[in-house]
C-alpha cells in the first residue's frame, strides 16, 4: 500500500508540474502605421464581424487561463479607443497601455519594460493576428513553460524556392519538411528575453521577429503547430479570408 501511495503521489506531482500555470504577461503589439492597408487605415481597428481586429486578439488572451495580464502597445492617438474597448468588452486582464516606438522591436521593448514584477514569461503577439484562439495560446505557453521558449508556427505546405536576390531567378530549393512559418504568440522566459534585448542592443541588431532576437542569444525555441488559420491581417485581401474563417468556426459550434 505504501508503494502504491508513493506511485500515486509521484504521478500527481508530475501531472501538476506539466499543468502548472506561470505568471505570464501578454504583450500585444498594435502600434504599426498599417501602410500596406492603404493611407489612413489602421488595420488593428478594422471591423471583422463588427468587432475590431485588435479587440478580437485581446479577447483571446483575456480568455486564456495561462495569461495573467495584458499590455497593449499602441499608437497614442488610439489610446481612447482602447479605453472604449475596455468598457464595451469588459476585459479582465487588460492592465495598461504603452506607447509604441519607431520600430516593432522598440515597441515590444516598451511593452516588456511595463510588465509586472511577478512576470515569469512574456507572450508577444501581433495585434493584427486576430484569429488566434485561447487554446492555441495555452499550447504555446505550456511548451514555453517546459522549454523556456516557444513560438506559434505552421509547417510550409508549398515548395520553397530561394532567389538569387538580383533578377529573381531561383538560386536554390529548400526542403519544405524543415521549413516552418513563424507566427505569434512567441513566448519566452522573462530573464531570457531581458538578456536578448541587452545583447541585441550591444550587437546593434535590428529584427522584426522576436524569435530572431532570442536566437541571437543562442537560446533554443520550441515550435508549436497552430495551423494556417492563425492569420495576420496585412493587406485588404486578408479580410475576406479572415471572415470566412470566422464563419467556418461558427458552424462548428
Please tell me the distance from the alpha carbon of residue 211 to that of residue 195, in angstroms, as a whole number: 13
Paired sense of beta strands 149-155 and 222-225, if any: parallel
Residue ranges and CATH numbers for the domains of the chain are 22-252 (3.90.550.10)
For residue 38, pLDDT beyond 60? no
8-state DSSP, 230: S
Sign of CA dihedral 164, 177, 216, 151: positive
The per-residue pLDDT for range 167-225, each reduced to its tens digit, is 899 999 999 999 999 999 999 999 999 999 999 999 999 999 999 999 999 999 999 99
pLDDT of residue 42: 78
The per-residue pLDDT for range 2-23, each reduced to its tens digit, is 554 454 444 344 444 456 789 9
pLDDT of residue 66: 98
CA Rg value for the chain: 20
Which residue, among 190, 112, 187, has the nearest Cα to 144 in the 3D structure? 187
Prior bond to 161 cis, omega within 30? no
The per-residue pLDDT for range 83-142, each reduced to its tens digit, is 999 999 999 999 999 999 999 999 999 999 999 999 999 999 999 999 999 999 999 999
Q: Which residues pair with 94 in a beta bridge?
A: 70
Q: Which residues contact 121 (CB under 8 A, 6 or more apart)?
A: 22, 23, 24, 25, 141, 144, 145, 187, 188, 189, 190
Amino acid at each position: 500500500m505504501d508503494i502504491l501511495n508513493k506511485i500515486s503521489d509521484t504521478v500527481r506531482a508530475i501531472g501538476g508540474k506539466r499543468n502548472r500555470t506561470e505568471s505570464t504577461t501578454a504583450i500585444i503589439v498594435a502600434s504599426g502605421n498599417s501602410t500596406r492597408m492603404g493611407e489612413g487605415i489602421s488595420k488593428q481597428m478594422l471591423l471583422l464581424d463588427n468587432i475590431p481586429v485588435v479587440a478580437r486578439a485581446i479577447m483571446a488572451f483575456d480568455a486564456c487561463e495561462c495569461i495573467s495580464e495584458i499590455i497593449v502597445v499602441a499608437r497614442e492617438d488610439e489610446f481612447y479607443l482602447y479605453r472604449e474597448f475596455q468598457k464595451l468588452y469588459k476585459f479582465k486582464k487588460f492592465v495598461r497601455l504603452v506607447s509604441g516606438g519607431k520600430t516593432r522591436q522598440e515597441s515590444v521593448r516598451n511593452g516588456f519594460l511595463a510588465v509586472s514584477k511577478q512576470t515569469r514569461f512574456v507572450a508577444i503577439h501581433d495585434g493584427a493576428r486576430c484569429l488566434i484562439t485561447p487554446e492555441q495560446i495555452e499550447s504555446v505557453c505550456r511548451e514555453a513553460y517546459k522549454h523556456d521558449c516557444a513560438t506559434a508556427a505552421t509547417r510550409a505546405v508549398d515548395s520553397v524556392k530561394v532567389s538569387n536576390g538580383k533578377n529573381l531567378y531561383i538560386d536554390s530549393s529548400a526542403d519544405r519538411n524543415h521549413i516552418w512559418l513563424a507566427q505569434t504568440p512567441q513566448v519566452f522566459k522573462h530573464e531570457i528575453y531581458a538578456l536578448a534585448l541587452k545583447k541585441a542592443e550591444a550587437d546593434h541588431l535590428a529584427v522584426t521577429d522576436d524569435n530572431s532576437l532570442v536566437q541571437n542569444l543562442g537560446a533554443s525555441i520550441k515550435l508549436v503547430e497552430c495551423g494556417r488559420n492563425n492569420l495576420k491581417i496585412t493587406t485588404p485581401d486578408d479580410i475576406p479570408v479572415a471572415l470566412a474563417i470566422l464563419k467556418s468556426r461558427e458552424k462548428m459550434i
